[in-house]
Amino acid sequence: MAHKSYQRVVVIGDGGWGTTLAMLLHKKGVRVTLWSAFPDHVTELQKHHENKRFLPGVKLPEGLLVSADPFEAAHGAELAVSVVPTQYLRKVAERFEDALAGEVPVVSATKGIEIETFKTPSEILAEVLGGRPIAVLSGPSHAEEVAIGLPASVVVASTDENLARAAQATLSSESFRIYTHNDPKGAELGGALKNVIAIAAGISDGLGLGDNAKAALLTRGIVEMARFGQAHGARSATFFGLAGLGDLATTCYSRHSRNRHVGEDIGRGKSLEKILAEMQMVAEGVWTTRALFGPESEARGIPMPIAEQVNAVLFEGQDPRKAVSELMGRELAGEMDGLGGA
Protein backbone atom coordinates (compact mmCIF):
# COMPACT_ATOMS: atom_id res chain seq x y z
CA MET A 1 0.00 0.00 0.00
CA ALA A 2 1.45 3.37 -1.05
CA HIS A 3 1.53 6.12 1.56
CA LYS A 4 1.47 9.87 1.18
CA SER A 5 4.79 11.44 0.24
CA TYR A 6 5.64 15.12 0.73
CA GLN A 7 6.75 17.01 -2.39
CA ARG A 8 7.91 20.33 -0.87
CA VAL A 9 10.28 20.20 2.10
CA VAL A 10 12.40 22.68 4.03
CA VAL A 11 15.52 21.30 5.76
CA ILE A 12 16.44 23.58 8.66
CA GLY A 13 20.17 23.39 9.38
CA ASP A 14 23.15 23.28 7.00
CA GLY A 15 25.42 20.90 8.92
CA GLY A 16 26.60 17.62 7.43
CA TRP A 17 23.41 15.71 8.25
CA GLY A 18 21.05 18.48 7.15
CA THR A 19 22.93 18.82 3.88
CA THR A 20 22.83 15.06 3.34
CA LEU A 21 19.07 14.84 3.93
CA ALA A 22 18.49 17.76 1.55
CA MET A 23 20.58 15.97 -1.09
CA LEU A 24 18.63 12.71 -0.63
CA LEU A 25 15.33 14.54 -1.03
CA HIS A 26 16.52 16.48 -4.08
CA LYS A 27 17.70 13.25 -5.73
CA LYS A 28 14.18 11.83 -5.28
CA GLY A 29 12.67 14.78 -7.10
CA VAL A 30 11.34 16.54 -3.99
CA ARG A 31 11.43 20.34 -4.14
CA VAL A 32 13.66 20.99 -1.14
CA THR A 33 15.25 24.13 0.28
CA LEU A 34 18.22 23.90 2.65
CA TRP A 35 18.18 26.71 5.23
CA SER A 36 21.36 28.09 6.79
CA ALA A 37 21.60 30.53 9.69
CA PHE A 38 24.57 32.18 7.98
CA PRO A 39 24.19 34.22 4.75
CA ASP A 40 27.92 33.95 4.06
CA HIS A 41 27.66 30.15 4.15
CA VAL A 42 24.76 30.26 1.69
CA THR A 43 26.98 32.24 -0.69
CA GLU A 44 29.76 29.71 -0.20
CA LEU A 45 27.45 26.75 -0.88
CA GLN A 46 26.07 28.37 -4.02
CA LYS A 47 29.51 29.28 -5.31
CA HIS A 48 31.33 26.00 -4.69
CA HIS A 49 28.42 23.49 -4.79
CA GLU A 50 30.05 21.86 -1.78
CA ASN A 51 29.60 22.15 1.99
CA LYS A 52 33.31 22.56 2.70
CA ARG A 53 32.73 23.29 6.39
CA PHE A 54 30.58 20.32 7.32
CA LEU A 55 30.57 17.81 4.43
CA PRO A 56 33.82 18.30 2.50
CA GLY A 57 34.44 16.33 -0.66
CA VAL A 58 30.76 15.77 -1.52
CA LYS A 59 29.41 17.68 -4.51
CA LEU A 60 25.99 19.30 -4.02
CA PRO A 61 23.53 18.56 -6.83
CA GLU A 62 22.75 21.29 -9.35
CA GLY A 63 19.45 22.97 -8.57
CA LEU A 64 19.49 22.38 -4.80
CA LEU A 65 17.96 25.53 -3.31
CA VAL A 66 19.76 27.17 -0.38
CA SER A 67 18.55 30.17 1.64
CA ALA A 68 19.28 32.10 4.83
CA ASP A 69 15.76 33.58 4.92
CA PRO A 70 13.30 31.52 7.02
CA PHE A 71 10.27 32.83 5.10
CA GLU A 72 11.80 32.12 1.70
CA ALA A 73 13.01 28.68 2.75
CA ALA A 74 9.70 27.61 4.31
CA HIS A 75 7.43 29.08 1.62
CA GLY A 76 5.02 26.38 0.40
CA ALA A 77 6.66 23.66 2.50
CA GLU A 78 4.53 20.60 3.31
CA LEU A 79 7.12 19.21 5.74
CA ALA A 80 9.98 20.66 7.78
CA VAL A 81 13.04 18.61 8.73
CA SER A 82 14.89 20.13 11.70
CA VAL A 83 18.62 19.36 11.89
CA VAL A 84 19.92 22.06 14.26
CA PRO A 85 22.29 21.26 17.17
CA THR A 86 20.24 21.01 20.36
CA GLN A 87 21.82 23.94 22.21
CA TYR A 88 20.96 26.31 19.30
CA LEU A 89 17.60 24.77 18.40
CA ARG A 90 15.30 26.96 20.49
CA LYS A 91 16.55 30.23 18.95
CA VAL A 92 16.39 28.80 15.43
CA ALA A 93 12.87 27.42 15.98
CA GLU A 94 11.76 30.88 17.11
CA ARG A 95 12.89 32.24 13.72
CA PHE A 96 10.50 29.78 12.02
CA GLU A 97 7.56 30.40 14.37
CA ASP A 98 5.89 32.74 11.84
CA ALA A 99 7.62 31.44 8.71
CA LEU A 100 6.29 27.88 8.97
CA ALA A 101 2.56 27.43 8.39
CA GLY A 102 0.72 26.19 11.47
CA GLU A 103 -0.30 22.81 10.05
CA VAL A 104 3.12 21.85 8.64
CA PRO A 105 4.52 18.78 10.47
CA VAL A 106 8.15 18.56 11.60
CA VAL A 107 10.63 15.69 11.56
CA SER A 108 13.35 16.25 14.16
CA ALA A 109 16.72 14.79 13.13
CA THR A 110 18.70 16.30 16.03
CA LYS A 111 20.25 14.21 18.82
CA GLY A 112 20.73 15.77 22.25
CA ILE A 113 19.18 17.28 25.39
CA GLU A 114 18.91 21.00 26.15
CA ILE A 115 21.16 21.83 29.12
CA GLU A 116 19.03 24.56 30.70
CA THR A 117 15.67 22.76 30.52
CA PHE A 118 16.50 19.05 30.09
CA LYS A 119 14.11 18.98 27.12
CA THR A 120 14.62 16.84 24.02
CA PRO A 121 14.66 18.44 20.53
CA SER A 122 11.07 17.40 19.74
CA GLU A 123 9.90 18.86 23.05
CA ILE A 124 11.64 22.16 22.22
CA LEU A 125 10.02 22.20 18.77
CA ALA A 126 6.56 21.46 20.21
CA GLU A 127 7.02 24.22 22.79
CA VAL A 128 8.12 26.86 20.28
CA LEU A 129 6.16 25.87 17.17
CA GLY A 130 2.91 24.80 18.79
CA GLY A 131 0.81 21.66 18.61
CA ARG A 132 1.74 20.40 15.15
CA PRO A 133 2.54 16.72 14.37
CA ILE A 134 6.17 15.85 15.16
CA ALA A 135 8.30 12.79 14.38
CA VAL A 136 11.84 11.81 15.33
CA LEU A 137 14.40 10.50 12.82
CA SER A 138 17.18 8.55 14.52
CA GLY A 139 19.57 5.64 14.07
CA PRO A 140 23.08 4.82 12.80
CA SER A 141 23.56 7.39 10.06
CA HIS A 142 26.90 9.16 9.69
CA ALA A 143 26.41 11.84 7.05
CA GLU A 144 29.80 11.12 5.49
CA GLU A 145 28.58 7.66 4.44
CA VAL A 146 24.92 8.36 3.64
CA ALA A 147 25.88 11.31 1.42
CA ILE A 148 27.90 9.09 -0.93
CA GLY A 149 25.21 6.42 -1.17
CA LEU A 150 26.50 3.82 1.29
CA PRO A 151 23.56 1.81 2.72
CA ALA A 152 22.03 2.82 6.07
CA SER A 153 18.88 1.99 8.03
CA VAL A 154 17.19 4.25 10.59
CA VAL A 155 13.80 4.75 12.26
CA VAL A 156 11.23 7.52 12.07
CA ALA A 157 9.21 7.48 15.28
CA SER A 158 5.97 9.28 16.09
CA THR A 159 2.75 8.83 18.02
CA ASP A 160 1.11 10.03 14.78
CA GLU A 161 1.24 6.93 12.56
CA ASN A 162 0.23 8.84 9.44
CA LEU A 163 3.13 11.25 9.85
CA ALA A 164 5.58 8.41 10.49
CA ARG A 165 4.50 6.61 7.31
CA ALA A 166 4.49 9.78 5.23
CA ALA A 167 7.98 10.74 6.45
CA GLN A 168 9.13 7.16 5.78
CA ALA A 169 7.83 7.34 2.21
CA THR A 170 9.35 10.79 1.65
CA LEU A 171 12.84 10.14 3.00
CA SER A 172 13.46 6.48 2.09
CA SER A 173 15.63 5.70 -0.93
CA GLU A 174 17.53 2.78 -2.48
CA SER A 175 20.40 3.26 -0.04
CA PHE A 176 18.52 4.78 2.92
CA ARG A 177 15.97 2.40 4.47
CA ILE A 178 13.60 3.76 7.11
CA TYR A 179 11.49 1.77 9.57
CA THR A 180 8.54 3.32 11.40
CA HIS A 181 8.33 3.23 15.20
CA ASN A 182 5.79 4.44 17.74
CA ASP A 183 8.11 5.27 20.66
CA PRO A 184 9.54 8.71 19.79
CA LYS A 185 10.67 9.30 23.37
CA GLY A 186 12.80 6.16 23.30
CA ALA A 187 14.17 6.89 19.83
CA GLU A 188 15.10 10.42 20.85
CA LEU A 189 16.69 9.48 24.18
CA GLY A 190 18.62 6.68 22.46
CA GLY A 191 20.08 9.18 19.99
CA ALA A 192 21.12 11.51 22.81
CA LEU A 193 22.43 9.07 25.39
CA LYS A 194 24.53 6.96 23.01
CA ASN A 195 26.80 9.98 22.49
CA VAL A 196 27.74 9.92 26.19
CA ILE A 197 28.65 6.24 26.00
CA ALA A 198 30.60 6.94 22.79
CA ILE A 199 32.80 9.39 24.71
CA ALA A 200 33.50 6.59 27.20
CA ALA A 201 34.33 4.24 24.31
CA GLY A 202 36.72 6.84 22.91
CA ILE A 203 38.41 7.22 26.29
CA SER A 204 38.84 3.43 26.32
CA ASP A 205 40.48 3.63 22.87
CA GLY A 206 42.71 6.49 23.97
CA LEU A 207 43.87 4.53 27.01
CA GLY A 208 44.46 1.42 24.89
CA LEU A 209 42.18 -0.77 27.01
CA GLY A 210 41.41 -3.25 24.22
CA ASP A 211 38.42 -4.89 22.56
CA ASN A 212 37.05 -6.68 25.62
CA ALA A 213 36.78 -3.47 27.62
CA LYS A 214 35.12 -1.62 24.75
CA ALA A 215 32.60 -4.40 24.15
CA ALA A 216 31.71 -4.34 27.84
CA LEU A 217 31.31 -0.56 27.74
CA LEU A 218 28.85 -0.78 24.85
CA THR A 219 26.86 -3.59 26.42
CA ARG A 220 26.67 -2.01 29.86
CA GLY A 221 26.07 1.37 28.23
CA ILE A 222 22.96 0.19 26.42
CA VAL A 223 21.58 -1.08 29.75
CA GLU A 224 22.16 2.37 31.29
CA MET A 225 20.41 4.00 28.35
CA ALA A 226 17.44 1.65 28.63
CA ARG A 227 17.17 2.19 32.39
CA PHE A 228 17.11 5.95 31.91
CA GLY A 229 14.62 5.74 29.06
CA GLN A 230 12.30 3.45 30.96
CA ALA A 231 12.33 5.84 33.92
CA HIS A 232 11.30 8.65 31.55
CA GLY A 233 8.38 6.95 29.85
CA ALA A 234 10.15 5.20 26.98
CA ARG A 235 10.07 1.47 26.28
CA SER A 236 13.25 -0.42 27.16
CA ALA A 237 12.94 -2.54 23.97
CA THR A 238 13.45 0.59 21.84
CA PHE A 239 17.04 0.86 23.09
CA PHE A 240 17.89 -2.56 21.68
CA GLY A 241 16.90 -1.50 18.14
CA LEU A 242 18.33 0.85 15.51
CA ALA A 243 17.75 4.04 17.52
CA GLY A 244 19.63 2.58 20.49
CA LEU A 245 22.04 -0.29 19.96
CA GLY A 246 22.45 0.37 16.23
CA ASP A 247 23.31 4.02 16.71
CA LEU A 248 25.50 3.25 19.73
CA ALA A 249 27.62 0.70 17.84
CA THR A 250 28.23 3.09 14.94
CA THR A 251 29.08 6.01 17.21
CA CYS A 252 31.43 4.00 19.38
CA TYR A 253 33.43 2.43 16.53
CA SER A 254 33.32 4.81 13.56
CA ARG A 255 36.24 7.01 12.53
CA HIS A 256 33.57 9.61 11.63
CA SER A 257 32.28 9.80 15.23
CA ARG A 258 32.96 13.19 16.80
CA ASN A 259 32.01 11.92 20.26
CA ARG A 260 34.36 8.93 20.09
CA HIS A 261 37.07 11.31 18.84
CA VAL A 262 36.57 13.59 21.88
CA GLY A 263 36.90 10.63 24.23
CA GLU A 264 39.98 9.25 22.47
CA ASP A 265 41.79 12.59 22.74
CA ILE A 266 40.88 12.83 26.43
CA GLY A 267 42.20 9.30 26.99
CA ARG A 268 45.47 10.45 25.42
CA GLY A 269 45.73 13.38 27.80
CA LYS A 270 44.33 16.33 25.85
CA SER A 271 42.05 18.80 27.67
CA LEU A 272 38.38 19.13 26.78
CA GLU A 273 38.77 22.87 26.16
CA LYS A 274 41.54 22.30 23.61
CA ILE A 275 39.62 19.50 21.86
CA LEU A 276 36.45 21.58 21.48
CA ALA A 277 38.39 24.64 20.30
CA GLU A 278 39.87 22.56 17.46
CA MET A 279 36.54 21.06 16.33
CA GLN A 280 34.50 22.48 13.45
CA MET A 281 31.36 20.46 14.25
CA VAL A 282 29.40 19.85 17.46
CA ALA A 283 30.04 16.83 19.70
CA GLU A 284 26.57 16.58 21.24
CA GLY A 285 27.67 14.03 23.86
CA VAL A 286 29.61 16.67 25.78
CA TRP A 287 26.51 18.82 26.22
CA THR A 288 24.22 15.82 26.81
CA THR A 289 26.53 14.77 29.65
CA ARG A 290 26.29 18.24 31.16
CA ALA A 291 22.50 18.15 30.81
CA LEU A 292 22.30 14.70 32.42
CA PHE A 293 24.05 15.88 35.55
CA GLY A 294 22.95 19.52 35.54
CA PRO A 295 20.45 21.19 37.90
CA GLU A 296 17.38 20.25 35.79
CA SER A 297 18.39 16.62 35.35
CA GLU A 298 16.32 13.71 36.56
CA ALA A 299 19.23 11.27 36.12
CA ARG A 300 20.02 11.09 39.81
CA GLY A 301 18.72 7.92 41.37
CA ILE A 302 19.02 5.97 38.11
CA PRO A 303 22.06 3.66 38.05
CA MET A 304 24.26 5.15 35.28
CA PRO A 305 27.85 4.51 36.41
CA ILE A 306 29.45 4.90 32.96
CA ALA A 307 27.70 8.22 32.29
CA GLU A 308 28.62 9.38 35.81
CA GLN A 309 32.29 8.69 35.18
CA VAL A 310 32.17 10.46 31.80
CA ASN A 311 30.75 13.50 33.61
CA ALA A 312 33.47 13.26 36.26
CA VAL A 313 36.20 13.13 33.60
CA LEU A 314 34.76 15.92 31.42
CA PHE A 315 33.68 18.38 34.10
CA GLU A 316 35.08 17.39 37.51
CA GLY A 317 38.76 16.78 36.78
CA GLN A 318 38.60 13.00 37.20
CA ASP A 319 41.61 11.14 35.80
CA PRO A 320 40.41 8.72 33.06
CA ARG A 321 42.37 5.78 34.53
CA LYS A 322 40.84 6.44 37.94
CA ALA A 323 37.42 6.41 36.27
CA VAL A 324 38.14 2.93 34.90
CA SER A 325 39.23 1.73 38.34
CA GLU A 326 36.04 3.05 39.91
CA LEU A 327 33.88 1.32 37.28
CA MET A 328 35.66 -2.01 37.75
CA GLY A 329 35.69 -1.79 41.55
CA ARG A 330 31.97 -1.21 42.12
CA GLU A 331 29.89 -3.64 44.16
CA LEU A 332 29.12 -6.80 42.20
CA ALA A 333 25.59 -6.95 40.78
CA GLY A 334 23.22 -8.76 38.41
CA GLU A 335 23.51 -7.91 34.72
CA MET A 336 20.00 -6.53 34.22
CA ASP A 337 19.41 -5.09 37.69
CA GLY A 338 17.14 -2.05 37.59
CA LEU A 339 15.77 -2.82 34.13
CA GLY A 340 12.21 -4.08 34.56
CA GLY A 341 10.88 -6.41 31.91
CA ALA A 342 14.22 -6.86 30.16
Active-site amino acid positions: 194
How many Å apart are CA 339 and CA 333, to the nearest integer? Answer: 13
How many C-beta atoms surround the C-beta of residue 169 within 10 A? 16
Phi and psi at 333, nearest 5°, equal: -150, 175
| Residue 68, amino acid | A
DSSP code string of 77-98 = -SEEEE---HHHHHHHHHHTTT
Between the alpha carbon of residue 226 and those of residues 53, 137, 233, 284, the distances in Å are 35, 18, 11, 19
Q: Return the axis-axis angle of helices 121-129 and 86-95, rounded to nearest 10°.
A: 20
How many Å apart are CA 45 and CA 223, to the nearest integer? Answer: 42
| Residue 288, amino acid | T
How many C-beta atoms surround the C-beta of residue 248 within 10 A? 26
How many Å apart are CA 38 and CA 234, to the nearest integer? Answer: 36
DSSP-derived secondary structure letter, 243: I
How many C-beta atoms surround the C-beta of residue 107 within 10 A? 29
Residues with Cβ within 8 Å of residue 223, at least 6 apart in sequence: 335, 336, 339, 342
Give the strands of the sheet with 79-82, arranged side by side.
65-67, 31-35, 8-12, 79-82, 106-108, 134-138, 152-157, 176-181
